[in-house]
Amino acid sequence: MACTLWVLARARDEGLKKLERVPAGVRVVVGDTAEAFDGQPPADAIFVCSMGRELLRAVLPKAPGARWVHSRSVGVENILFPGLAESGVTLTNGRGVFSPSLAEWVIAAVLFFAKDLRRLVKSQEAGRWDPFPPEMVQGRWMGIVGYGDIGRAIAARARGLGMRVRALRRNVTAPPGDPAPDEILPPERLADLMALSDDVVVTTPLTPDTRGLIGEREIRAMKPTGLLINVGRGAVVQERPLVDALRRRSIRGAALDVFETEPLPAGHPFFTLDNLLLSPHSADQVPGWLDGAMDGFLDNLDRFLAGQPLQNVVDPRRGY
């Protein structure tokens, strides 16, 4: 099948090397400005590789026959705009590529606090012999806010440690083929999940409904020994009440890979807190992540060319 693919990417994007694998008959046009696509054959498909909403908004009207838009990332909030939903194109994302690495990071964060690894490192650096009893995570409850592909990957690893899983999702029936969590709660019971869980993990995408979802009320509901982990989107968790809670030590701690503003500004209070573990939105940047993301796109491209149903379809109105 002949096809024109527009790729919204910077020329130095390393992932472009993978496009050498596109099937014969696919014309690839790469650009990082709207003008780069002027005079080119109209796109049948658009791959948002390393650019965002403004460029997609500018080029979509130039491709009235486009039937598919793919986002290399999992979160699509940075490319959504009303015209995309109204265009009727099928939107897909990179779901599944990043789930294993994010799940491992979450488990590392849980163990970091349970075994008090910060204390161990400080004692070692000070040359101090400081025995103390580490905690077990077996038998603890992990609450997962957003039980999609990432949430399920986290749950599987938590169960491997003997933890019990409580999930928050719109549909209280477990996905087909997935071992059911020990408990599934609807969104209106978020405060209950926060109060009943030992470790709360946020994986939900950023949508109008989830922006600021975890605020003062939800954080106050947590156990004094509770740990809050966010690997979803920074704006889902309100930072001011979280900083206040960490300073008061009304919760045990937090582990964050995502933030409201990235990079995190110099002088941000997060840098001063000894009960916070942070990473610079890099938990999923493991070796091979780019190959995995590009392979996922190419697999979907094969489906598109064959007229088969696409994987990882996203509802552009809901944002997931």
Whether 77 is a known active-site residue: answer no
Burial of residue 111 (number of CB atoms within 10 Å: 0-12, 13-18, 19+): middle
Among 140, 233, 239, 252, the one annotated catalytic: 233
d(CA 242, CA 110): 18
Tokens matching residue 9? 């990417």
Tokens matching residue 196? 């009943």
Among 118, 189, 220, 281, the one annotated catalytic: 281
Q: Which of 16, 21, 20, 22 is nearest to 3 (CA)?
A: 22
Whether 27 is a known active-site residue: answer no
Among 135, 249, 262, 317, the one annotated catalytic: 262
Whether 240 is a known active-site residue: answer no
Q: Cite the active site residues.
A: 233, 262, 281
